[in-house]
Amino acid sequence: MTANLTDPTNQGRPLLLQGNEAMVEGALYAGCRFFAGYPITPATEISEVMSWRLPAVGGTFIQMEDEIASMGAVIGASLAGGKAMTATSGPGFSLMQENLGFACIAEVPCVIVNVMRGGPSTGLPTHVSQGDVQQARWGTHGDHPIIVLAAATTRECFDLTVKAFNLSEKYRTPVILLADEVVGHTREKIVLPPAGTIEVVERIRPTMPPEWYIPYEDNLRGVPPMGIFGDGYRYHVTGLTHDVRGFPTERPDEIVPFMDRLFRKINQHFADIQMVVEDLTEDAEVLVLAYGSVARSAKRAVREARARGVKAGLLQLITLWPFPRGLLEPHLRRVKAVLVPELNRGQISREVKRVNQGMTRIDTLNRIDGRLITPAEILDRLVRM
């Protein structure tokens, strides 16, 4: 039990938190006041801590009958004005896909945490994996953009949860935060930032007279202001493809502009959405591209390689989707080789290869046995590249 978290005297003092716990703190910092979830290893701690932290700040925790229901409740809460979140792992994430697609087409801000474990199916419930990277991108049916972030440390769990809420509110889209079993369960020192020191974004709401409100009308940002149930802007929300008023349409001249806007509202804000961490990349000849817990092993390996005279660098992806190709391409043009270590069979390396187009050599290092990739394994590859 981590009841001391709410003790205000802890502010400014170091805490020893799991990644899972830090995500709760990040969510509360961002103003999350609604959580619906279903127990699943290795994400359960998020539900447990939310269950006693949220009521204390006047929020709502509810354990639903399954993950389908959790995702539905999160969308409902967001439509009624609350910042809402759920957390799960692979099997639950699969169940959420249907309503996740609804949140995409109806443009409902919300945050979905997936603490990844080994799959497919029940797989390796207590072991680490990065097997859901492509599912996070393409798990729903239909074409739509999505924002997916990946955290590697307790501190990143906090920061990226705040960031996930900010992006979701700003662009009216679900944002998926991927952690993995190691990131979720590792305890690390963290000093929680005081309120007001990190930016918190609220959705843009309509200010015009209600009779002028056209809920899905395009604008320069591509993100229409969002009416909240009960605030006087009555409108229709549907999972059907809709016109600017929210009513179902089958007209190509209405479908195409709508779908175009869904993509454009993300595409035209790449600079704001795509994030990486550059570590010793400036003069690097060999580049490690990693994310999540593997980035931690890579960080150490890069340093040890440098000690042995190998000019190695690390590009840690924070944003996985939309894939930050613009931040990667300058490196691909310059380095001799890239190593992509992943806890899957190459879900990001195939994207790197797609972007690479023969510019440099792309090597992969994969584990799917529920164990971490160690610094030694990465180092061994770096010195031989």
Partner 1 sequence: MAEITKLIHKYLRHEKKFPHVWCPGCGNGIVLGALIRAIDRTGFSKDEIVLVSGIGCAGRLTVYVDFNTLHTTHGRALTFATGVKLANPKLQVIVVMGDGDATAIGGNHFIHAARRNLNLTAIIVNNNVYGMTGGQYSPTTPYGARAATAVYGHIEQAFSIAELAVTAGAAWVGRGTVYHASLLDQLIEQAILKRGFAVVEAISHCHTQFGRRNRLGGPVEMMRWQKEVAVRVEKAKTMTPEELKDRITIGVLVDRELPVYTHELRKLREASQAALGAK
How near is the Cβ of 172 to partner 1 at its closest, in Å?
16
Instruction: Compare residues 65 and 283 and give the one whose CB is closer to partner 1.
Output: 65
Binding of residue 62 to partner 1 (CB under 8 A): yes
* DSSP character at residue 121: T
Contact flag: residue 204 with partner 1 (CB under 8 A): no
**What are the DSSP calls for 98-152, one per residue?**
HHHHHHHHHT--EEEEEEEEE-STT-EEEEE--TTHHHHHH-SSS----EEEE--
Q: Distance between CA atoms of 98 and 239, rounded to whole angstroms? A: 10
Q: Rule CB under 8 A: is residue 68 a binding residue for partner 1? A: yes
Is residue 202 within the footprint of partner 1 (CB under 8 A)?
A: no
Task: Find out whether 159 and 150 touch, Cβ atoms under 8 Å.
Answer: no
In the block, residue with structure tokens 């998020």:
46
Question: Residues 30, 40, 79, 182: which binds partner 1 (CB under 8 A)?
Answer: 79
Cβ closest to partner 1, residue 74 vs residue 328: 74
Does residue number 34 form part of the binding site for partner 1 (CB under 8 A)? yes
Element (H, E) at 77: helix 67-79
Binding status of residue 138 toward partner 1 by CB under 8 A? no
**Pairing of the two strands 147-150 and 319-321:** antiparallel
Q: Return the range that interacts with partner 1 (CB under 8 A); candidates 30-38, 254-262, 306-314, 338-346.
A: 30-38
208 CB contacts (<8 Å, ≥6 apart)? Answer: none
- Window of 73-81, 118-126, 336-344, 355-363 that interacts with partner 1 by CB under 8 A: 73-81
Smallest separation, CB 88 to partner 1 (Å): 15
What is the rounded CA–CA span in Å between residue 339 and residue 337? 7
Residue whose tokens read 């180092």 = 379
Q: Which residues contact 187 (CB under 8 A, 6 or more apart)?
A: 16, 17, 18, 154
Angle at CA 137, nearest 5°, toward 134 and 139? 80
Q: Tell me if 259 contacts partner 1 by CB under 8 A.
A: no
Strand pairing category for 83-88 and 286-290: unpaired
Pick the closer one to partner 1 by CB: 138 or 247.
247
Distance between CA atoms of residues 144 and 46, nearest Å? 28
Q: How far is the CB of 156 from partner 1 (least distance, A)?
A: 27
Among 235, 258, 263, 270, binds partner 1 (CB under 8 A): 235
Among residues 126, 143, 194, 229, the one that binds partner 1 under rule CB under 8 A: 229
Question: Which span sits near partner 1 by CB under 8 A: 229-237, 326-334, 341-349, 363-371?
Answer: 229-237
Q: Give CA–CA dist 107/85, Å, rounded.
A: 15
**Is there binding between residue 69 and partner 1 (CB under 8 A)?**
yes
* Binding region for partner 1 (CB under 8 A): 3-4, 6-7, 33-34, 36, 52, 55-56, 58, 60, 62, 64-66, 68-82, 84, 98-99, 102, 229-232, 234-240, 245, 247-248
